[in-house]
């Protein structure tokens, strides 16, 4: 018997390919001059690599951009395109976030930092 007000969710899938951290780059200054930059992680998220579909290439390629990586995490609303992503020792800019129709997963389209 289904309880009133509850929806039935699909079985949870484990995301086992790795952990990404999203956050902000904080610039350290001394006497107004930039001394260093430090990554301040907001939240770690487990992820799976996702296949970049032909339709993704068509849409993103029309803008002249290159996507280096597409990953899937569980949906979180704490992230925006101004954040940076760290996977292992690599940093990425967020080109696009796609929550899909179910808002169970969030798809991240990432570009290596410095590439545009």
Instruction: Report the share of the chain in percent with pLDDT over 70.
Output: 88
Which helix (H) or strand (E) element contains residue 89? Answer: none
Mean pLDDT over 84-106 rounds to 94
| Cα distance between residue 41 and residue 72, in whole Å | 18
Q: Do 69 and 94 touch, CB atoms closer than 8 A?
A: no
pTM of the prediction?
Answer: 0.81
CA dihedral sign of residues 38, 48, 65, 104:
negative
What is the structure's pLDDT at 72? 96
Task: Tell me the pLDDT tens digit for each residue of 36-86.
Answer: 999 999 999 999 999 999 988 888 878 888 899 999 999 998 899 999 999
Torsion of CA 44, 45, 50, 56, to 10 degrees: -80
| Cα distance between residue 84 and residue 48, in whole Å | 18
pLDDT band at 101 (very low <50, low <70, confident <90, very high): confident
């Amino acid at each position: 018997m289904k309880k009133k007000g509850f929806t039935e969710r699909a079985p949870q899938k484990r995301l086992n390919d790795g952990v990404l951290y999203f956050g902000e780059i904080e610039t350290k200054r001394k006497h107004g001059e930039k001394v260093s930059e430090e990554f301040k992680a907001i939240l770690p998220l487990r992820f799976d690599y996702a296949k970049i579909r032909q339709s993704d290439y068509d849409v993103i390629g029309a803008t002249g951009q290159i996507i280096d990586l597409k990953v899937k995490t569980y949906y979180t609303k704490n992230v925006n395109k101004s954040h940076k992503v760290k996977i292992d020792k690599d940093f990425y800019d967020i080109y696009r976030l796609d929550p899909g129709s179910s808002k169970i997963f969030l798809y991240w389209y990432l570009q290596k930092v410095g590439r545009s």
